[in-house]
Structure 1
């Protein structure tokens, strides 16, 4: 037998997992152990929840009594720094198992009785927005105990970004974190990526295609929630590759009242058959705007970029074209003029490369901004794989970022230059009545009075 058939020993093995219960227990123990062992990783996950930067201790299946019943949360995290102590219970689900509201409320009651700070839930459910929990619980139970949710996609992305991009100071801790990443990436770990658009996807999609969907139809809100979850998943996945935090773009009103975005998306889906959203990559010139048109069967991504504030219109067009060397020829360019209303001048990138003047409608009008858009076929299947809706959106965003957004740089004005003026030496004259001035040109000869 050759060494190629040998299996390397792993710190956290996936072999021997016999069922969902053991899968959850192993995932819980592995994650909590690494939280305590790798300082940067533990602080990166817990500090945003209000935990201090201190000693992290983790425990599994800690027993508590609640109204005569024995309660066993999956885990407990305790962080101490000096006299300050922060404690959170942990509930974990793997695979397709979803969190249970009644169970979570019991844990919230335990946390309140014990004076703990929070309850952390971990599952493959991705909430539609940051700060929104995927499971409904009685809000009265959250008056003294906070509830936080991590998707396994978020945990994995955070681990990869910490190890590969931000770094781990201790080499042994870096290896331990790498073992956790290997485990979570294995299909048998139960830490799945977004796999499904939900049971409402097919009937809602068919109603959109036939033009019979109404904003009040059952299932429309569920599809909209899944869409925002998909955008968050795409952002986490892209951020994992880039080593940064890619976030969904929401208005202040949408953050304060998430229902406003739900209503806008449902109305757009019913009236136009479109789902929309945007992702922001730090230091990129602009957000990526994503539109899934279910009626047209297309997903489009576009980027809006400010044009240079100097130069002729064709000069500004050429400035953009030079940065789009890797963009496909069928990318659509649109030029907007200053104080203009309505759509701008539109043409395909391939044609504009040959003739930049195609984006100039009036040479006397100043171009204010450009839009670069790329479109792709939209999948229809609710799951994953070839022809799937999720995969088509993921691939479209990745391609748009690689071919368009990461190539673009914002225009920067040149700094003002000092005037080159060679002044002749001053004539020595006690009677000279005129001193040299900054307004004198190179032909100044001076005058004797």
Structure 2
């Protein structure tokens, strides 16, 4: 679609009552990002109250009409998804505005391939819109959905604001409180909130009024004129509603007489012996908690097109299929406005692979019975949103069934986010989530997420060590795919601990073939013996680089931090060393000097003499490169000596021991006065 164009969702799909809106972009540096927001507007073009503004501190509507699903990596960058249940939108709401904003000095002109896609609940794209004229704007209205009689229509807007989220919010009736300038996402580390913020926290931006307004559609409701806004130098203070329950930071004192006493668990795991027993128990536990804790059930199914509504879950259901009935591991049903959404669930634990023929049968059953989805759940992690197993889809069937994959690591991540950071509305629900996490983490549960680098790992590693592996070896591609799954799982774990989104950095251009990208990485692995990845955490400017050198058996984690502008060199390096007082002594610190290699040394050597980081020729320091190096596990699994655990431990040590101490370093100047 082009800017200003509009189309009817009803004309595009017979099932347009629930849609998923995706905003995507790429960044050449890997550091570019934006935060999405949604505004519900009445006939006057204004929000009814500040509660109609949904953003990172107010991610979901109580009635299920709006839910921010968060960012997911794609083969060409990042994609932020929003679930909209149009059947649940209040009648007085006539427009739904979908926007995104940046903070600090970032501008949308720094991002590439800005795009918006509207898909139905099965994931089938209905309409798309690309923005190719972004410049100095710090906020953008990508598009809007609006009522026209009994149907909903979509309009491609592409309207930019140079006044940031503050200007956009004010324009639609959000009250901006007077206060100090505050960047939009809080800097790390982020304490676990005890309350769920539902007010509007908007970033300040000293700039003129909105620009690039798209022409209105002929039948679209009249939009309010964009006034010339004053310079925004304020930030909105978060508002809170009913207190939510999160896990206390400090556990209460145990009443046990000694360490051999173990507290009773709702879901015991030590007696599990067989894989079948693990699958049955894990499925039943998860589905029962999803039904009893609506926040978790909604979080796990919204991305699969499920509406917000009353959920019931079932196990050991018998469904007719040919000569003998089939029994999927579970069934999820959600009722909303008299309609029922149904998904069949196939579960695997302990690293057991999914069986394509079994999933194919469930897809056929779902299509024949009019069900909406089949969900596979295992320790494996999907890449680029592609299902783990390949199935054949009969294009002659009118009813479409979505095939989705969920990892046990993602289940643990979502439970951890609710329990530690976002909270749930009922203390009993918080206790259930804690019991679920306790079960998932038990060594006998078989639900530990991705924990096997695959059969190609050992021969490829030995081939690299012996320098006998040759370019084009297909086994190297399998190792690269396993490496990407491992990095995705590391991001899930780290994000769950911090309460921030952590995502792999994808530097490939839009439209690039992920298979070609992995093939190129496999060639580098055969040639150089290294696996490389980058990950970024919301609220930080640094990109964490992870390099596994199979020839030396070492893992390097590193990041670059910029030197404060206008700061004197010696006070800057002294402040850096002082902020790293609790960092590991073996941390390598290197000054970044334009056009040359700067001085370097370990933190142990630099603590008494920080001046050792100053270039001898007096060249200006632009930043610092921080690196930690540790031994690499050789096994293919996640045991103490395994490669997977060593990578996870390396990233965790680097973040907690180094990056967590540097919050605010880049933003402060070393000058006095």
TM-score bracket, normalised by the shorter chain, equals: 0.7 to 0.9
Q: Say yes or no: does 1:29 pair with 2:287.
A: no
CA distance in 1, matches of 2:416, 2:268: 19
Give 1:373 shift.
0.7
Q: Say yes or no: does 1:208 pair with 2:445.
A: no
User: Structure 1's 126 and 255: CA in aligned 2 closer, same or farther, altered over 3 A?
Assistant: farther
SS at match of 2:376: strand
- 1:271 is matched with 527
Per-residue deviation, residues 181-234 of structure 1 (Å, max 9, x unmatched): 232223333323443322221111111012222231132111111111221222
Give 1:87 shift.
2.1
Alignment of 1:31-430 (within 5 A): 31-127=286-382, 129-138=383-392, 144-253=400-509, 257-337=513-593, 340-341=594-595, 343-361=597-615, 365-410=619-664, 411-412=666-667
Give 1:363 shift.
5.7
CA distance in 2, matches of 1:17, 1:297: 35
Larger displacement relative to structure 2 (380-389 or 290-299): 380-389
Give 1:256 shift.
5.6
User: Structure 1's 139 and 215: CA in aligned 2 closer, same or farther, altered over 3 A?
Assistant: farther
- 1:12 is matched with 267
Task: Confirm or deny: 8 A CA contact 1:313 1:363 kept in the other structure.
Answer: no
Give 1:236 shift.
2.3
User: Structure 1's 283 and 140: CA in aligned 2 closer, same or farther, altered over 3 A?
Assistant: farther
Give 1:276 shift.
0.8
RMSD: 2.9
CA distance in 2, matches of 1:221, 1:308: 41
SS at match of 1:351: helix
Give 1:267 shift.
1.7
Q: Which runs of 5+ in 2 are unaligned?
A: 1-255
Task: Confirm or deny: 8 A CA contact 2:632 2:643 kept in the other structure.
Answer: yes
Give 1:6 shift.
8.2
User: Structure 1's 188 and 371: CA in aligned 2 closer, same or farther, altered over 3 A?
Assistant: same
Give 1:316 shift.
2.9
Task: Confirm or deny: 8 A CA contact 1:301 1:375 kept in the other structure.
Answer: yes
User: Structure 1's 366 and 85: CA in aligned 2 closer, same or farther, altered over 3 A?
Assistant: farther
Task: Confirm or deny: 8 A CA contact 2:378 2:449 kept in the other structure.
Answer: no
User: Structure 1's 255 and 133: CA in aligned 2 closer, same or farther, altered over 3 A?
Assistant: farther
User: Structure 1's 175 and 354: CA in aligned 2 closer, same or farther, altered over 3 A?
Assistant: closer
SS at match of 1:137: coil
CA distance in 1, matches of 2:279, 2:464: 38
TM-score normalised to structure 2 length: 0.57
Task: Confirm or deny: 8 A CA contact 1:334 1:347 kept in the other structure.
Answer: yes
Per-residue deviation, residues 286-310 of structure 1 (Å, max 9, x unmatched): 1221000111221100011111111
SS at match of 2:555: strand
SS at match of 2:320: strand
Give 1:83 shift.
4.2
SS at match of 1:347: strand
> Which is strand-richer, 1 or 2?
2
TM-score normalised to structure 1 length: 0.83
> Which is helix-richer, 1 or 2?
1
Larger displacement relative to structure 2 (77-86 or 49-58): 77-86
SS at match of 1:188: coil
Give 1:17 shift.
4.3
CA distance in 1, matches of 2:338, 2:577: 60
User: Structure 1's 89 and 330: CA in aligned 2 closer, same or farther, altered over 3 A?
Assistant: same
CA distance in 2, matches of 1:341, 1:264: 28
CA distance in 2, matches of 1:395, 1:18: 28
SS at match of 1:66: coil
User: Structure 1's 69 and 268: CA in aligned 2 closer, same or farther, altered over 3 A?
Assistant: same
User: Structure 1's 73 and 336: CA in aligned 2 closer, same or farther, altered over 3 A?
Assistant: same
Task: Confirm or deny: 8 A CA contact 2:525 2:531 kept in the other structure.
Answer: yes
